[in-house]
A and B are shown apart, each in its own frame.
Chain A
Amino acid sequence: MSEAPAAPHTASAEPATGAGRLDLLLVPPRARAGWQVLPARVVAMCVVELQKLRHDRTELYTRAVQPALWLLIFGETFTRIKAIPTGGTPYIDFLAPGIIAQSAMFIAIFYGIMIIWERDAGILTKLLVTPTPRAALIAGKSFAAGVKALIQAVVVIVFAALLGVAMTWNPLRLLAVAVAVVLGSAFFSCLSMSIAGIVLTRDRLMGIGQAITMPLFFASNALYPVSVMPGWLQTVSKINPLSYQVDALRGLLLGTHAHLALDFTVLTAAAALGIAAAASLLGRLAR
């Protein structure tokens, strides 16, 4: 009787592994040097994002609807009625950088929901068991958000150009625009992932996401210059990274007066802070 269960053991190993060439699976890969880990993980996450986007472009199209409506309806209308003092530039030109920043932010805010979904699906758990420090994982995710937002920004820029917005085509400036979009998205995705680490469930996060995106948008210079805001709102706008992103985009794309050095400093610091905060809260999601 005690021998009986031994039979399935010996019988079970025959099938599978047809070729049996598994030599590479016997050698563990060499670890990268410490400083290379972060860029390598960022690249890995960005590649995944692009691969997903390549397989399913639906999101690309559906996400283009809202900025298009903002530019087309809100932009065109307010250009006509000239209600907002924009210092000479047509309102739709003034609005276009704001809409780029807004649509990038909306994409980035989605990442908290995504990381909770990945937690529930076991994907995050599995990534956390790889030799990837948490900060590198979060940095990877946030720059992946940046890559996605960048594609969105291209869509909006093309659309704005079709509507006759006069923007720069200087490649250096466009490169700086890309950096600003990525940094801003990195911050907002980390904000969202930090909140995910606090509230832990998708339902709560969806409510909070809805609750914070519009205020972040309205309490910034995306739709109107800071000067027309009431004093308290100006203060809020000053601590809102979206304002600095819009300021940079406006300066780079339209050539209006901007505080580029300050903008990029704030965006970089915000992104770094966001990554640190989200990474420290990631452990709560892993539990």
Chain B
Amino acid sequence: MTSDDEGRPGRLPGAAGPGRAPFAHRAPAPDATAHRAPAPAPDAGSASAPDAVTCRGLRYAFGETRAVDGVDLSVRPGEVFGLLGPNGAGKTTAIRCITTLLSVPAGMVRVFGHDAAKERMAVRRLLGYVPQQLSADAGLTGRENVALFARVFDVPRRERAARVAQALAAVGLTDAAGRLANTYSGGMVRRLELAQALVSAPRLLMLDEPTIGLDPIARTSVWEHINAVRAATGMTVLVTTHYMDEADQYCDRVALMHHGRIRALGTPDELRAALSARRRAARTAAPPTAPGTPTPTPAPAASPASAVSPSAAPSRSSDAAPTLEDVFRDVAGSGLDEQSGDFRDVRSTRRTAHRVG
């Protein structure tokens, strides 16, 4: 089970170009080698290039609480995919299923074609994971923190120091590498965690609320490092956040999650355009759906609020431009503000915020 079963040829072509092709917002990316066609076509990672992450009918319950309640999603190789939602929406649980931390009880999860339930070690070798908490070991230096993960991912001794140095350089921590992590600021700890995740050259970087509790400048810095590393390595990024503005700015595609289900899925532009269209349609009292327009990766049929099909071009802005938050309020419907986030969730958020100061 620990066998290294992927030689990873063709990892860089396409997605890794310095031209930042993955940032392009238009859905049909020109380099069709890395990006699949924008059409949904949810074939479960078949044939040529499997999706970075494929979830089909993923469910997970803690006792009575159905944290994840039938999630279908595909993360394409090379994209930054945002999983959005308020506390308690099920984002972290979904992430923990994909990382093999929680065993998948129902449904299917695949990471680059590897089944997360059956090939745990193979999946873990593909992952770099940064949990929600600031998880660097405060009693170790930055360099030692990264070296631990180099060891645990079987980096041979002769290239360990060089690899650790590169990971630290990639996040701009070379100068602070010899200091104990408990002297780092919150943003520096996040970047250190990023270096810990990068040292094993993951193909999929999973970030759970990477900017929670950080000040705006640190948030921007963390995102800039994520983007720069991604541009250089072509890795796929799956990020959860409840900062809608960040998702809008940095994610290629987003999924809006609420009460364990995905309520909408598409590029931020598509989602906002869809909302504008719906608002316009509502104003003119026309039926909300209009035929003949391409449906941009609609939300899975299981979710009740999948009527996100945009019915017109997004150009005409008669009313205030909707934000992703507006989209979220629209698709989530009522019950947004009440009982979001269980106690442990909130507590850990507070603790993180407290540690950041």
Contact = CB atoms under 8 A, between A and B. Distances in A.
A1 B23 contact: no
A22 B233 contact: yes
A122 interface: yes
Contacts of B159: 24
Contacts of A175: none
B194 to A, nearest CB: 10
B2 A17 contact: no
A15 B172 CA distance: 10
Contacts of A80: none
Given A120-B133, A122-B132, A32 B154 contact: yes
Nearest to A27: B201
B113 to A, nearest CB: 16
A12 B223 contact: yes
Given A24-B166, A25-B199, A129-B100, A13 B25 contact: no
Interface in B181-215: 193, 196, 198-203
Interface in B1-51: 1-4, 6, 8, 11-12, 20, 23-25
B140 A48 contact: yes
Interface stretch (B83-91, B224-232, B330-338): B224-232
B171 interface: yes
B314 A22 contact: no
Contacts of A23: 166
B141 interface: yes
Contacts of B124: 129-131
Interface in B119-147: 121, 124-127, 129-137, 139-141, 144
B152 A127 contact: yes
Contact of B269 (A2, A32, A34, A125): A2
Contacts of B321: 1
Contacts of B131: 122, 125-126
A27 B228 CA distance: 17
**Interface size for chain B: under 10, 10 to 19, 20 to 34, or 35 or more residues?**
35 or more
B350 interface: no
A27 B170 CA distance: 15
Contacts of B101: 125, 128-129, 286
Nearest to A35: B2
Contacts of B24: 6
B169 interface: yes
A13 B135 contact: no
A30 interface: yes
Interface in B305-326: 314-315, 317, 321
A19 interface: yes
Contact of A48 (B11, B137, B229): B137
Contacts of A33: 2
Given A2-B315, A5-B248, A125-B101, A25 B201 contact: yes
A41 B152 contact: yes
A43 interface: yes
B334 to A, nearest CB: 28
A9 B226 CA distance: 12
Nearest to B351: A120
Contacts of A133: 121
B243 interface: no
Contacts of A82: none
26 contacts: A1-B314, A1-B317, A2-B269, A5-B248, A6-B25, A15-B228, A16-B170, A16-B171, A16-B224, A17-B170, A17-B172, A22-B169, A25-B166, A30-B156, A37-B2, A40-B151, A41-B152, A48-B144, A51-B141, A122-B132, A122-B134, A126-B130, A129-B127, A131-B152, A133-B121, A287-B62
Interface of B: 1-4, 6, 8, 11-12, 20, 23-25, 62, 99-102, 121, 124-127, 129-137, 139-141, 144, 148-156, 159, 162-163, 166-167, 169-172, 180, 193, 196, 198-203, 220-221, 223-225, 227-229, 231-233, 248-250, 268-269, 272-273, 314-315, 317, 321, 348, 351
Given A2-B315, A43-B151, 11 more contacts: A2-B273, A21-B166, A22-B232, A29-B201, A37-B154, A44-B148, A48-B144, A48-B148, A126-B129, A126-B135, A130-B149
Interface of A: 1-3, 5-6, 8-10, 12-34, 37, 40-41, 43-44, 47-48, 51-52, 55-56, 120-123, 125-133, 286-287
3 A-B pairs with least C-beta separation: A122-B135, A122-B133, A122-B131
